[in-house]
Amino acid sequence: MTNKTYFIPNIHCMHCVMHIKNRLNEIEGVESVEGNPQTREIEVEFSSPATEEAILQALAEINYPAEV
């Protein structure tokens, strides 16, 4: 199991966090997604077959690119 925290400057509210959670939860292997609009961070817990590359790509597709 991998646990990663991503800084996403486009997060402004809990609606943004929910949009991100809904999209990332579609990826097989993503176990949990938690977000904080104040810090503009999300924490993703995942295992195979999910990859960090797939998570970053999904974030970019919905206009919430992570700063790596």
12-21 pLDDT, tens digit each: 999 999 999 9
Q: What percent of the chain has pLDDT over 90?
A: 99
Confidence of residue 68 (pLDDT cuts 50, 70, 90): confident
pTM metric for this prediction: 0.93
Confidence of residue 24 (pLDDT cuts 50, 70, 90): very high
Average pLDDT over residues 38-55: 97
Residues 28 and 37: their CA atoms lie apart, in Å, by: 25
User: Where do the domains of the chain lie?
Assistant: 2-61
CATH number of 2-61: 3.30.70.100
Joined tokens for residue 42: 């999300």
CA dist 19 → 38, 40, 41 (Å): 16, 14, 14
